[in-house]
Structure formats: C-alpha cells, structure tokens
Chains A and B, each alone.
Chain A
Amino acid sequence: MEVMSVSKLFSVLLIFSAFAASVIMSEASGAYGEDVVALAVEEAEAAVVSAYEAVLDAEQAGAKVSGLLARLNVAGEYLSDAHIQHRLGDFENATYFANLCDETAEEVRNEANELKNEAHGLRVTDLVVRMTGSIIGVVIIVFLSFLVWRAFRRRYHKRVLEMKPEVISGES
C-alpha cells in the first residue's frame, strides 16, 4: 500500500514538473517571440525619434547640441543593430539592442529637454538685453541728433546774420 502511494505521489510530481517545465519553456521562448521583439524594436525606434525631436527643439532654442548628437548616434547604432538582428532572426540580441537603444534615447531626450529649458531662459534674457539696449541706443541717438541739430541751426542762423551784404558799385 505504502509503496503504491509513494509511486503515485512520484507520478503526480513528475507530471506536475513536466507541466511546469513546459510552461516555463514556452514563457521563455515567448520573451523573444517575433511579435515581442518587433514591438521592442518599434518602441526603440519611437524613443529615438522622440529624442531626436527634443534635440532639434533644443537646437532651435539656441542650445549647443553636439554632445547630445554624439550620444544619439550611439542610440542610432544600437537601433541599427536591433533592426539587423531582427532581420536575421536573432530575437534575443535584437531585444537586447532595442532595450539599450531605448535607455540611451530616453536619457538623451531628458537632457535635451533640460537644455531646451535652459536655452529658452537664456534666450529670454538675451532678448530683454537686446531690446533694452536697442531702445536706449535709439533714444540716445535721437536726443543727441536733436541737440546737434539745434546747435547747428543756431550757428547757421548766426553765420547768415553776420553776413554783410556786399555792395558792388557799378562803374560806368
């Protein structure tokens, strides 16, 4: 009886472990399934585009983006590798490179946004300085011109008034 129950228990355990193993195996293969990998590559691609647009915004705001472009190139290389491995059917490496790309692009995007905000602040300050400088400059020029014109006019009138008419006597 006891031998029977032990063998039954062993059989149940064997079936259970076989079932568990098949579940684990299918999940493991599912982790690098084609759809999952395609989605990972697509997400990496979107992350790179988003980072690139953030860098463009920062550039338009007047920030220096050469450092960001260098790091974006690293993300681009990872994305190329992900695409190539995906085409070759190496889903594990494709996912690996897609994830690396995603992380790098995310970092670049965050830094680009920070740079954009900094550049925007500097641009506003620069705009205020330029506007104020220009207004003050124009006011000073107009005022000085008015003073110079008044002095010139006075001198001109004085010179005209001091002129003595010359009498040319006609001798015949």
Chain B
Amino acid sequence: MNLDEYRTLFVVATLVLSLIAASPALSVVVPFRSGSEEFSELWLLGPTHMAEGYPFGVTIGEKEQIFVGVGNHMGRSAYYVVYLKLRNQTQAAPDSATSTPSSLAPLYEFRTFVADGDIWESPVAFSFVEASGFGDLFTVKKMSVNDVVFPVDSISVWDSENNGFFYQLFFELWIYDEASMSFRYHDRFVGIWLNVTVS
C-alpha cells in the first residue's frame, strides 16, 4: 500500500466514525420509516375464551356469551367503534369485495381506544328475549345484549336445507379517520350463525 491508499482509508474510516457519532442527531432529522403494513384485527372467541365452542343452537331466554376483540397495528393509537348487528339469511351482510358495511342499523356498539401494538377485548352476553313462530316464519321481537334489551322485529324463513331459523350475529369494525374527521368502515367483520328455536 502506498501513502495515497492509506490516506483514502483514513478518510473513509473518519467519515464512517463521524456518521456513527452523528447518528443521535441524524435520527431526529431524518425520519426512519419502519415500512411495516398498517392494519387492525377483529376477532370473536367462544365462551371459554378460545376459538371454539361458539354458540349455535339458541333457545329463547337462554343466555350466551362470546368475546369480541380488536388488535391495533396502525403505528399509532386508534379510535375504534365495533357495531353489533343482527340479520336474517336475506338481509345485507358487509361486502368485503367493495369494502362496504351492512346497511342494517346497529343494535349495540363498543367504542374503544387502543394503543399501537395493543389489544382490546370485551365480553358480549346475549339472549333472545321474545320471539314467536308461525309455520315457516319465525320472528325475533326482542334481544338482550349485555343486559340491555332491544326491539328487533326480524323475521326468518324456515331453511329446509339446514333445518332451522337462522340469524347471524355479526360485528363490524369502524375506525376514526382524522383526515375526514369521521368514522369509516375498516373492512373487517366477524360473525356467528345462530339457529334460533322457541324451546
């Protein structure tokens, strides 16, 4: 190695060491993006707090319990609303292809603020309080969610293929969007089908 080559080596080493020494200040000036995808999770767990044993055959007055949860991976704290809705076989469900929520009015709602990387969970105790059946038609008149009774008036037609009157209890995830200053559907929903019988 001649002297010029040694000089280049010294300059490069000095530059590298200088960059390391300047890194605390550079980290403030230069924004380092993590590059990870921003998303949220929505889940349902059964009565034993596991992904099993979900209620299916439900009789009027029988109390059931499930758990709904939200996970935040948005890179900041987020403000969510989880809407609980009930529909029969023909009513509109949320559409994942077009990212649109169900047009049905919510029965119950949960509002929660979740820190980035954190989760939120809540028990959901529900029962069908009042219903009537006549021939091929079944009407759920009242439903209780977390001890609040709601008028429902939802009619289900006998499903001869699956032998039952079916309703879907589902949850939609909405997120507060600071840019538009309103909630928008976050393209996540989970639900369970219930075969409701009078006794």
A residues adjacent to B (C-beta < 8 A)? 48-49, 52-53, 55-56, 59-60, 65-66, 69, 72-73, 76-77, 79-80, 83-84, 87-88, 127, 130-131, 133-135, 137-138, 140-142, 145, 148-149, 152-153, 156
The complex places the Cα of A73 from the Cα of B114 at a distance, in Å, of 9
Q: Which of B28, B115, B178 contacts A53 (CB 8 A)?
A: B178
Contact A153:B3 (CB < 8 A) given known A69-B113, A141-B18: yes
B17-A145 in contact (CB<8A):
yes
Number of interface residues, chain B, beta carbon within 8 A: 34
Which chain A residue shows the least CB distance to B151?
Answer: A88
Known: A73-B113, A145-B17. 19 other contacts (CB 8 A): A59-B77, A65-B77, A69-B113, A77-B111, A79-B111, A80-B109, A87-B105, A127-B28, A130-B24, A130-B27, A134-B23, A137-B21, A137-B22, A138-B18, A141-B14, A148-B10, A152-B6, A153-B3, A156-B6
- The smallest C-beta distance from B125 to any residue of chain A, in angstroms, reads 15
The complex places the Cα of A59 from the Cα of B74 at a distance, in Å, of 14
Residues of chain A contacted by B23 (CB below 8 angstroms)? 134
Closest 3 A-B residue pairs measured CB to CB?
A137-B21, A76-B111, A134-B25
Q: Which of B14, B25, B112 contacts A131 (CB 8 A)?
A: B25
Residues of chain A contacted by B10 (CB below 8 angstroms)? 145, 148-149, 152
Residues of chain A contacted by B148 (CB below 8 angstroms)? 84, 88
The complex places the Cα of A138 from the Cα of B114 at a distance, in Å, of 41
